[in-house]
Amino acid sequence: MQNNDYHIPGQLKAAILIGFTLLSLACIPLIMQLRFDFDFEKFFPEGDEDLEFFLEFIEDFETDDNFLLIAFTAPEGTIFDSTYLRRVADFAESARAFPYVDRVLSLPDIRLPYRTPFGIGSRPLVHLDQPERFQEDSTLIFSSDRFRGRLLDERAASSLVFIKTIDNLTIDQSGELLEIIRSEIEKSDLEDWHGLGRAFFQVEISRSQLVELIRSTIISGILVSIILFFLFRRWNVVLISLVSIAISLLLFLGFLSITGRELSVMAALYPVIMIIVGTSDVIHITTKYLDEISRGRKPDSAVYATVKEIGVATLMTSVTTAIGFASLLTSRIAPIREFGVNAAAGVLIAYITVVLFTTIWLSLTPTSRLLRDDRGRYFWYNAMNWLYSFSLKRTRAIWGVGGLVIVVCVIGITQITTNYKIEENLPRGEKVTEDFHFFEEHYFGFRPFEIAVTYMDDLGVNNYRALEEINRLEMHFREYEDIRSVSSPAALYRLLYQFSRGDLMGEEEFPPEEETFQELERFSRLARALEPNVLTSPDGMRARISANISDVGADSIQTISNSIMDFVDREMDLERADFRITGTGLIIDKNAQYVRENLIQGLGLAVLLVSILMMVLFRQPLMLLAGLLPNLFPLIFAAALLGWFGIELEAGVSIVFAIVFGIAVDDSIHFLAKYRLVRGRGYGVEESLIRTFRETGKALCLTTVVLFFGFLVLLFSQNPPSFTVGLLISSTLISALAFDLLMIPSILRWVERRSGK
Q: Which residues contact 138 (CB under 8 A, 6 or more apart)?
A: 80, 156
**At 160, phi and psi to the nearest 5?**
-125, 160
Cβ(67)–Cβ(174) below 8 Å = no
Task: Using alpha carbons, select from 346, 249, 215, 336 the residue that is nearest to residue 713.
Answer: 215
Mean model confidence pLDDT for the chain: 82
- Percentage of the chain with pLDDT > 70? 92
Q: What is the pLDDT of residues 147-188, one digit of tens each?
A: 888 888 888 899 999 998 988 788 888 889 999 999 999 988
Cβ(305)–Cβ(292) below 8 Å = yes
Element (H, E) at 539: none
| Range 395-408 average pLDDT | 87
pLDDT of residue 563: 94
Q: What is the pLDDT of residues 669-708, one digit of tens each?
A: 888 888 888 888 888 888 988 988 888 887 788 888 878 8
Q: Tell me: pLDDT of 1 over 60.
A: no
Q: What is the three-state SS of 600-618? A: HHHHHHHHHHHHHHHHHHH
| Residues 213-235: b if buried by 16+ CB within 10 A, e if exposed | bebbbebbbebbbebbeebbebe
Q: Which residues contact 170 (CB under 8 A, 6 or more apart)?
A: none
Q: What is the pLDDT of residues 627-651, one digit of tens each?
A: 777 878 888 888 888 888 888 777 6
pLDDT of residue 579: 93
How many residues in the chain? 757
User: In this structure, what DSSP letter does residue 263 have?
Assistant: B
Q: Tell me: pLDDT of 742 over 70.
A: yes
pLDDT band at 531 (very low <50, low <70, confident <90, very high): low
Task: Using alpha carbons, select from 273, 278, 297, 298 the residue that is nearest to residue 358.
Answer: 278
pLDDT band at 558 (very low <50, low <70, confident <90, very high): confident
Task: Using alpha carbons, select from 160, 140, 163 the residue that is nearest to residue 152.
Answer: 160
pLDDT of residue 748: 86
Partners of 454 in the β-ladder: 542, 578
Handedness of CA 355, 621, 601, 633 (dihedral sign): negative
pLDDT band at 469 (very low <50, low <70, confident <90, very high): very high
pTM metric for this prediction: 0.76
The amino acid sitting at 753 is R
User: In this structure, what DSSP letter does residue 355 have?
Assistant: I
- 257 or 695: which carries more pLDDT confidence? 257
Most confident of 147-151, 367-371, 532-536: 147-151
pLDDT band at 715 (very low <50, low <70, confident <90, very high): confident
Q: What is the pLDDT of residues 651-671, one digit of tens each?
A: 667 777 777 777 778 788 888
N- to C-terminal Cα distance for the chain? 30
- 38 or 487: which carries more pLDDT confidence? 487
Cβ(304)–Cβ(376) below 8 Å = no
Domains of the chain: 10-31+233-414+590-754 (1.20.1640.10), 67-110+147-203 (3.30.70.1320), 442-585 (no CATH)
pLDDT of residue 182: 92
Cβ(108)–Cβ(79) below 8 Å = no
Q: Tell me: pLDDT of 113 over 80.
A: no
pLDDT of residue 92: 92
Determine the 3-state secondary structure of 520 from DSSP: helix
- 90 or 584: which carries more pLDDT confidence? 90
pLDDT band at 458 (very low <50, low <70, confident <90, very high): confident
Q: Tell me: pLDDT of 526 over 60.
A: no
pLDDT of residue 93: 92
Distance CA 275, CA 101 (A): 44
| Range 388-393 average pLDDT | 87
Determine the 3-state secondary structure of 56 from DSSP: helix
Q: Tell me: pLDDT of 374 over 80.
A: no
| Range 334-341 average pLDDT | 84
| Range 561-589 average pLDDT | 89
Distance CA 211, CA 131 (A): 47
pLDDT band at 262 (very low <50, low <70, confident <90, very high): confident
Distance CA 476, CA 564 (A): 8
- Percentage of the chain with pLDDT > 90? 14
- 564 or 7: which carries more pLDDT confidence? 564
Q: Tell me: pLDDT of 24 over 50.
A: yes
